[in-house]
Structure 1
Amino acid sequence: MRDTTGTLNRFDRQLWKKFWKLAKPYWFSEQKWKARRLLLNLVVLTVLVNGINVGISFIFRNIDTSLARFPNTGDSSTFWRLIALYAGLLVIATPIVVLFDFVREKLGLHWREWLTNRFLERYLYNRAYYQINLDAKIDNPDQRIADDVRAFSRTSLSFLLVILSSVITLISFTGVLLSISVALSMTLIAYAIVGTVITAWLGRRLIGINFNQLKREADFRYGLVHVRDNAEAIAFYQGEVAELAQLRKRFGDALRNFDLLIRWERNLGFFTSSYNFLVRALPYLVVAPIYFAGQTDFGAITQAAIAFDQIFRALSLVISQFEVLTAFAAGVNRLGSFAEAVEPTALAQRKSTTITTTKDEQLALDRVTLLTPNYQRTLVNNLSLKLNLGEGLAIVGHSGSGKSSLLRAIAGLWNTGLGHIARPVLGEMLFLPQRPYMVLGSLRDQLLYPHRDCSSDEAQLNRVLEQVNLAELPERVGGFDVELDWANTLSLGEQQRLAFARLLLAQPRYAILDEATSALDLDNEQHLYQQLQEMKIAFISVGHRMSLLQYHHYVLKLEGNTHWQLLLAQTYDAA
């Protein structure tokens, strides 16, 4: 059965390919020897655990046989000697089992650390996070990095060890079972094979449902985070009813899918429960006639039950782990899709569009035609301009005419269209959006972002804050090293002035300002632009205020129908 999730409905080649592509790099990475050493320790511990289980089966066989013979022999010493042997075996087995769990968790921890760092590097490499958000094909990348990576590393290791343990168990107990009854061995194998086939057929639908459940749970969580991040705006709009409706919708989607999930698990449970109940009686049904015929001792029934249970669990791996397996398959698909999206080659293919960019000392646009990323709308047609150091360009136009989009093209975020852009390296350009980005960290981090490794003493930081009329800020918040929720601590006007402080510290050759003073009064705006002019850098501003024009040499007017005009600021007529 295949639905909208396509190949998710069973473990096909594509899913296994994604799994191997995710798993392989760690075992051949710079940490491969540590990983392989821990895995070897787990293999040794697994062999020891199975050897202990085999020993326990013989001990309990002899215990039951001694109890059965006691009425005739009156000998209880054999029973107590075997109990003492079992107690000694437990003393040895306990640290082995504990160490097995510890080493498994330790290896899972190392694997998660390596895989998470790998995804973080690729997620932030070459602005992959921006492209993914723009394409909107990969939902909730935060969940995939935080939750799916953790589940992948732990569950992959658990399945590997379960499979390894199952193989060792088969080898260890098959001989035990064959020595008791060949018929019992054949019955067990046939029973396990039939059960596995039926379970796989009944449960294949669960993979797609689990995939959808992960997505809908993440969507609901994102809705809650969205309300938290936009609490003030929602309060101003009194949008509680609308927000409650969208949260209930997302939660309802998750609940409906979960209801479907538990109904399918119920259907699978009808078979697996009866399957597991029946297996408890099978060894007795097969071995009892042999015992009644006097062909084996009483303890053989107990040992047969133990061996049967161990081999049955090994052969019924798909049945016992199916629910976990379906959730794991959904996670592998989500993580595999994310890994493909952040591959450098995939990013290069997405970026192989027609606006070319080269590095130059000055910023110049040569016959640039800019389209939206989906190619559905042309914003600017055949635009050419050049901006020298010390000059300022103001971009004006109606809302939706492409002002901010042109800045994205200059920054290299959008490149759908035609033409060529020459610009300095991005490290020599600083972009100030209307709502500045407030990093997670201290006031010092805010000022030095994105170059946190830069060394600036507090005297210099105080001087820069004074230049943007925020001299009292360090004392107000408790110093440069106090970490606060800056987006909610500072007003938008203070955030915009803090962004200007970053600019003054960074001293770029070019500054790009997108409504960067929209929340400031005219006096503060004038003060900040005077600071820019004194720096002798080139800057481009997007804004609607006529007051901005006096600080710029040129005005680029976007007329909204792909047409544009480039004028001297003193000759520009807003009408």
Structure 2
Amino acid sequence: MAILSKCRPSRERIAGLTRAYSAHRPLIQRGLMTGFVLHVLLAAYRGVAARPSPRRRGGAKLSDGKATRVAVDAAFYQRLRVILRIVIPGIRTKEALLLCMHSTLLVFRTAISLYINAYTIGLLRQLVRGQSFQFLLNIIRWLLVAVPATWTNSWLSYVQNKLTIAYRTRLTNEVLKQYFGEEAEGPEGKCYYKLSSLDDRIKVPDQMITYDIQRFSAHLAAIYANLAKPTLDVILYNYQLAQNVGAEGLVILTVLIQTSSALLRVLSPSFGTYTAQSAALAGNLRHGHSRLVEFAEEIAFFGGQETERELLEREYITLARHEEEVMNKRWWYACAEEGIIKWLWGSFGLVICAIPVFFKFPGAAHVDLGSLYSGFVTNRRLLLSSSDAVGRVMYSYKDLAELAGYTSRVFLILDALSDVRAGKFEKALTNGATTGENGAILRGRGQVFLSEDIQFENVPIVTPNGDVLLQSLTFSVKPGENLLIVGPNGSGKSSLFRILGGLWPVYGGVVRKPPASDFLLIPQRPYLSLGTFRDQVIYPHSEEQMRERGVSDTDLLAVLAVVQMDGMVEREGWDVTREWRETLSGGDQQKLAWARLFYHRPKYAILDEATSLVPPDVEGRMMEHATALGITLLTVSHRSSLWKYHSHILQYDGQGGYIFTKLDVEKHLALQEEKLDLEAKLMEVPKMKVRLAELRLLVDAQGGNMP
């Protein structure tokens, strides 16, 4: 009795609390739902917010060769902000309009889904109660609802694809704009050359500009729907579910889901790192194949196919092992993900859906079996939709991590292009290049001024890998003073031309020169573009630009006659298209490059062994015609027949020294003949020594003595 008397006040207190809870339940329900909405928004924000990147040994090696771990962290969002300013430059742009349309369609699709879920309740009740006419009538209405639902889903896919193309177009245009640079002087021009020759960060820019930008754009267009739509669905579906089963069950379900999702996130691998590393390894494999195509002739002559095959197999095996490792991690993560999201959360949901069946809420009216059945099915559908939305929010983190991987790739090329345009390069240097006197030269920067003449004042000649070929070069050439440049290989002859063309930086001294557009290069193996025969002569002009200059096909034919290539037009015609590198011989290619020179008529022509495959009579004719056109020639050649066409000579000794002087052709020819004569005599010295030794042996054998 004493125990019962003690329990009675407790039961009364519980009953009092129950009555108070029942009286204020609507207010409590609103409070719980408000808290749930805030919790979902906060959880979504935390899901995509920056996280500190844990330091691990051996990160992913990207294309720059540095160990870097890609994650959804502050660095990712900083890079993404930079790229978003490019792909969505303003609120009045096409991209912003498409994004607004995409958002509207996402909300509209969710509204249709909620309407269908609510509409299903009536269908189920009519089915359970056997109301056939009303059931068939609602089936017709169901089919009518399918029209805007289908239209919305199709439009969502269409607009998302349009967003992908719009993002890719903006980003590709920006990268190509920086990649090809400006026509002005300075470091901003010709980045496509400098990125591959003066910088080591980007091995395969073609892959980044094509594949990586495309994948980034697709992920960026999809990530908005993968985050915004599920978050909205979670709020709306769970709000409707709370109306049916009570917000109390929703709170319990949220706690259980949050606990299990935290475990799932701990188990999540670094998908962003794997994505970036896969792209880098694929780029290395592609780079190996491109090298094989580029140097196929040399490899074939050396018989190096086995070595090249082993190198390519090594690159492929590295890529395949990485993909297999990622696949294995994705497999066990997918098992854990499906087990938690589909099955564990499903069991939680079934319990929540069963609450109205087994428990009666305070103040709730009695319902029949049909209503209970339809209510359970409706709640089950709402729960499935909500679970799917929560699962998509969880899956979206994986998508966000992959987006971080592609973001790092795209940002890498943007960052490298920005540095190259500013004259900042990251290049592997030779041993000792950064120490001592050479290091002081590499840390310096020279000055470049525009001028009609060419003047070098104490300018060092430095290769991209840090080799100092000349510590100080001083010379000057005025228009009309043709310069002959001679010296051994690797002494700095071609390096001088790259400085004149604005391709290499100036590490010291003062350079005065005309703009790069006043120079035209004819190398030993000229570049022939894709296009017609006319295009080869006027490159890089188009036929329309040629006409605007007042040049006709007759004028071009006269230019070709100078280099004895006019017969090519008679045989082939102007508009024939071929792979001209394979069609023309080496000598014809050089003559065609000279025709291109006569068409453009620049102030200066850089001739790098440009007549090595041309007969002497044609060579002289071309040199004389260039001089008659007022083109100043800067010539690298070992042919003595070209000396008479030059007034100055710059001679390198290959040991870091040089001589710049006026060219006295007769004197140099006499010196050349004397040099050749002495060299011939010196070649006879070993033979003379051998004969002298033989004679000494013969004399000694006869008892005589040679003096």
TM-score by shorter chain over 0.5: yes
Greater mean alpha carbon deviation, residues 407-416 or residues 188-197? 188-197
Match of 1:131 in 2: 194
How far apart are the structure 1 equivalents of 2:481 and 2:228? Answer: 69
Q: Is the 8 A contact 1:283 1:304 kept in 2?
A: no
Counterpart of 2:560, as a letter, is L
Q: Does 1:149 align with 2:213?
A: yes
Match of 2:640 in 1: 546
How far apart are the structure 2 equivalents of 1:324 and 1:492? Answer: 53
Counterpart of 1:454 (choices 533, 546, 560) is 546
Match of 1:14 in 2: 75
How far residue 179 of structure 1 moved from its aligned partner, in angstroms, is 1.0
Cα gap change, 1:32 to 1:101, in 2 (>3 Å): same
How far residue 183 of structure 1 moved from its aligned partner, in angstroms, is 4.4
Greater mean alpha carbon deviation, residues 17-26 or residues 323-332? 323-332
Give the match's secondary structure for 1:516: coil
Greater mean alpha carbon deviation, residues 358-367 or residues 228-237? 228-237
How far residue 53 of structure 1 moved from its aligned partner, in angstroms, is 0.7
Give the match's secondary structure for 1:466: helix
Match of 1:173 in 2: 237
Counterpart of 2:495 (choices 392, 405, 408) is 405
Aligned length: 568
Q: Which has the larger radius of gyration?
A: 2
Q: Is the 8 A contact 1:553 1:568 kept in 2?
A: yes
How far residue 176 of structure 1 moved from its aligned partner, in angstroms, is 0.6
How far apart are the structure 1 equivalents of 2:375 and 2:443? Answer: 71
Unmatched 5+ stretches in structure 2 = 1-53, 61-66, 182-188, 361-366, 426-441, 676-707
How far apart are the structure 1 equivalents of 2:289 and 2:209? Answer: 19
Match of 2:402 in 1: 327
How far apart are the structure 2 equivalents of 1:435 and 1:331? Answer: 38
Match of 2:47 in 1: none
Cα gap change, 1:555 to 1:265, in 2 (>3 Å): same
How far residue 33 of structure 1 moved from its aligned partner, in angstroms, is 2.9
Counterpart of 1:267 (choices 327, 332, 348) is 332
Q: Does 1:489 align with 2:583?
A: yes
Counterpart of 1:564, as a letter, is Y
Cα gap change, 1:487 to 1:187, in 2 (>3 Å): farther
TM-score normalized by structure 2? 0.75
Q: Is the 8 A contact 1:7 1:15 kept in 2?
A: no
Counterpart of 1:303 (choices 363, 368, 378) is 378
Q: What is the alpha-carbon root mean square deviation over aligned residues?
A: 2.6
How far residue 191 of structure 1 moved from its aligned partner, in angstroms, is 4.4
Unmatched 5+ stretches in structure 1 = none
Counterpart of 2:303, as a letter, is Q
Cα gap change, 1:45 to 1:114, in 2 (>3 Å): same
Cα gap change, 1:131 to 1:189, in 2 (>3 Å): farther
Give the match's secondary structure for 2:633: strand
Q: Is the 8 A contact 1:193 1:315 kept in 2?
A: no
Counterpart of 1:166, as a letter, is P
Match of 1:343 in 2: 418
How far apart are the structure 1 equivalents of 2:113 and 2:397? Answer: 25
Counterpart of 1:36, as a letter, is A
Q: Does 1:437 align with 2:527?
A: yes
How far apart are the structure 1 equivalents of 2:293 and 2:203? Answer: 19
Give the match's secondary structure for 1:342: helix
Q: Is the 8 A contact 1:356 1:415 kept in 2?
A: no
Q: Is the 8 A contact 1:397 1:560 kept in 2?
A: yes
How far apart are the structure 2 equivalents of 1:9 and 1:390? Answer: 57
How far apart are the structure 2 equivalents of 1:144 and 1:479? Answer: 39
Match of 1:24 in 2: 85
Match of 1:56 in 2: 116
How far apart are the structure 1 equivalents of 2:573 and 2:76? Answer: 52
Cα gap change, 1:317 to 1:447, in 2 (>3 Å): same
Counterpart of 1:242 (choices 302, 307, 318) is 307
How far residue 297 of structure 1 moved from its aligned partner, in angstroms, is 2.0
How far apart are the structure 2 equivalents of 1:228 and 1:521? Answer: 31
Task: After superposition, give the CA deviation of every residue in 1:56-102 in whole Å (9 maximum; x if it has no partner).
Answer: 212233333443x33xxx43334323322221111221112212221
Give percent identity, aligned residues only: 26
Q: Map 1:358-437 onto structure 2 (within 5 A).
A: 358-375=449-466, 377-437=467-527
Match of 2:621 in 1: 527
How far residue 145 of structure 1 moved from its aligned partner, in angstroms, is 1.1
Counterpart of 1:256 (choices 318, 321, 326) is 321
Counterpart of 1:354, as a letter, is R
Give the match's secondary structure for 1:386: strand
Match of 2:11 in 1: none
How far residue 352 of structure 1 moved from its aligned partner, in angstroms, is 9.4
How far apart are the structure 1 equivalents of 2:276 and 2:630? Answer: 55
How far apart are the structure 1 equivalents of 2:526 and 2:159? Answer: 46
Match of 1:284 in 2: 350
TM-score normalized by structure 1? 0.91
Q: Does 1:84 align with 2:140?
A: yes
Q: Is the 8 A contact 1:7 1:14 kept in 2?
A: no
Counterpart of 2:292 (choices 227, 233, 238) is 227
How far residue 309 of structure 1 moved from its aligned partner, in angstroms, is 2.9
How far residue 475 of structure 1 moved from its aligned partner, in angstroms, is 4.6
Greater mean alpha carbon deviation, residues 426-435 or residues 479-488? 479-488
Cα gap change, 1:45 to 1:248, in 2 (>3 Å): same
How far apart are the structure 1 equivalents of 2:358 and 2:493? Answer: 92
